[in-house]
A and B are shown apart, each in its own frame.
Chain A
Amino acid sequence: MLQQIVYAAPFLLTGLLTTLAVSVITVVLSLIIGVVLGVALVYGPAPLRWVVRGFSDIIRGIPILVLLFFVYYGLPLTGLNLQPLAAAVLGLTVFKVAQVVENVRGAIGSIPTGQMDAAKSIGLPFPERLVFVIAPQAMRRFLPPWLNGVTDAVKGSALISLLGVGDLMFAIQKVVGRTYEPLALYCFGAALYFLINYSLSLGSRALERRFSYISV
């Protein structure tokens, strides 16, 4: 059993690196786009709010797999021919953006309305209100749920193996196909995913504890 794993190691390593790369890109991209859209959702003009709200609700209402298939098979029809990897990252990012928008909305929404009033009353214009009053308070409320969501990105990335992208899950499947040792390999793969996600969730819990001591 151990021999099988050793034989498969380089192959699995490549897969692991792909998984990590895809996860990181997805998380970073979705954070940037999601925060912008989230702020637009809270403070934007009504039509923009409707669009973002609609988009977010639809994406969060369907399974990730359906979204991935939709993007992977559907995109070439619009003339955009992406590599499987790019299509996968696009699909995952879209999925995460919807989650981040919700995180932002919840974080800003939980700030008492009086804060905005106080910021207005000392004469701060809108950008300064956001940067110096809202954002610092929103950050503390945003980080814990967002960090929890990062593990969703890693777990969701396992589905891109179905699109032919050579991630960890794909590598495991290939090796299982060659060595017929499914249990050992799946357990090993589970251990790897567990290591990544569990460390992330430990980190997020530590951060949560740090922030809650500054009581807000």
Chain B
Amino acid sequence: MGYHLNFTLIWRHFDKLLSGLILSLELAILSVAIGCVIGLVLAVIYVSGGRALRAAIAAYVEVIRNVPLILLVYLVFYGLPTVVDLSYSATTSFVLTLSAYAGAYLVEVFRSGLEAVPRGLIDAGMSIGLTPWRRLVHVRLPAMLRIALPALSNTFVSLFKDTSVASVIAVPELTYGAQWINFNTFRIMEVYLVVTGMYLVTGYAILIGLRALERRYAIGG
């Protein structure tokens, strides 16, 4: 075989990987946050809105879920600036894309969470005289969040992995860092072993952290 593992070059450039990992996390957190807002608003509209609104939201969800992320990334980064008079950095473009992507998945999560809120809770809210808006804010949403927490955690970990696609438009996240080291040192095995480890450990840490949160707050765990 004649290939000897040599990690020293990896450690020399480890800063690229570390800063890449941090950027990946930032991208994921930002996109999840924005996606949550989108998802929450659209879920509420979906549950209470009319047929036209529901169809529009369903269309948005279906398009995002059936088109590859990489195509969406290219579309937003290369395609949009030709019609919209905006120019943005690759990072901003990716956050926009991933947020829209997250929003589509989160609409589903929040919608089924809302529909799973026990009728009894809503009845109780009505019986103490809460208005529909107050019922939404004080009864249904809190209950929904607790029910949706496991699905939310899984979505977040998924999105963290999806940040790797940002590398195709040269956003310096973890996968981009790996490719950089790959092309500049030819230490392919080493860098990908390390990066695999970093994704696994980070993903696992996120899951454990979120599971602890779930145990404190989730219903029906």
| A/B: CB atoms within 8 Å of each other | yes
A66–B203 CB distance below 8 A: no
Task: Tell me which of B3, B65, B66, B72 has the highest count of chain A C-beta atoms within 10 A of its own C-beta.
Answer: B66
Task: Tell me which of B82, B164, B178 has the highest count of chain A C-beta atoms within 10 A of its own C-beta.
Answer: B164
B68–A169 CB distance below 8 A: yes
A182–B188 CB distance below 8 A: no
What's the nearest-Cβ distance from chain A to residue B211, in Å?
A: 15
Q: Majority SS of interface residues in chain B?
A: helix
Q: Judge if A159 is at the interface, Cβ distance under 8 Å.
A: yes
Q: Judge if B155 is at the interface, Cβ distance under 8 Å.
A: no
Chain A residues within 8 Å of B162, by CB: 63
What's the nearest-Cβ distance from chain A to residue B159, in Å?
A: 11
What's the nearest-Cβ distance from chain A to residue B218, in Å?
A: 20
Q: Which residues of chain B (136-150) have a CB below 8 Å from chain A?
A: none
A159–B70 CB distance below 8 A: yes
Q: Judge if A50 is at the interface, Cβ distance under 8 Å.
A: no
What's the nearest-Cβ distance from chain B to residue A164, in Å?
A: 13
B71–A158 CB distance below 8 A: yes
Residue of B nearest to A76 (CB): B188
Docked complex Cα distance between A37 and B182 (Å): 32
Chain A residues within 8 Å of B188, by CB: 73-74, 77
Query: What string of 1s and 0s marks CB contacts (under 8 Å) between A96-120 and chain B?
Result: 0000000000000000000000000
B74–A186 CB distance below 8 A: yes
What's the nearest-Cβ distance from chain B to residue A182, in Å?
A: 4
A66–B178 CB distance below 8 A: yes
Q: Judge if B60 is at the interface, Cβ distance under 8 Å.
A: no
Q: Judge if B196 is at the interface, Cβ distance under 8 Å.
A: yes
B75–A186 CB distance below 8 A: yes
- Count of residues in A whose CB is under 8 Å from the partner chain: 39
Known: A69-B175, A169-B71, A187-B79. A58 touches B189 (CB 8 A): no
Known: A74-B188, A193-B66. A62 touches B196 (CB 8 A): yes
Residue of A nearest to B199 (CB): A62
- The residue from A157, A159, A176, A190 contacting B67, defined by CB atoms under 8 A apart: A190
Q: Judge if B210 is at the interface, Cβ distance under 8 Å.
A: no
Known: A62-B200, A69-B182, A77-B189. A159 touches B175 (CB 8 A): no
What's the nearest-Cβ distance from chain A to residue B183, in Å?
A: 9
Besides A74-B189, A157-B68, A162-B70, 13 more A-B contacts (Cβ < 8 Å) are A62-B161, A62-B199, A63-B199, A65-B167, A66-B199, A77-B188, A151-B66, A155-B67, A182-B74, A183-B83, A186-B78, A187-B75, A197-B65
The 4 closest A-B pairs by CB, nearest first: A158-B68, A63-B164, A197-B66, A183-B79
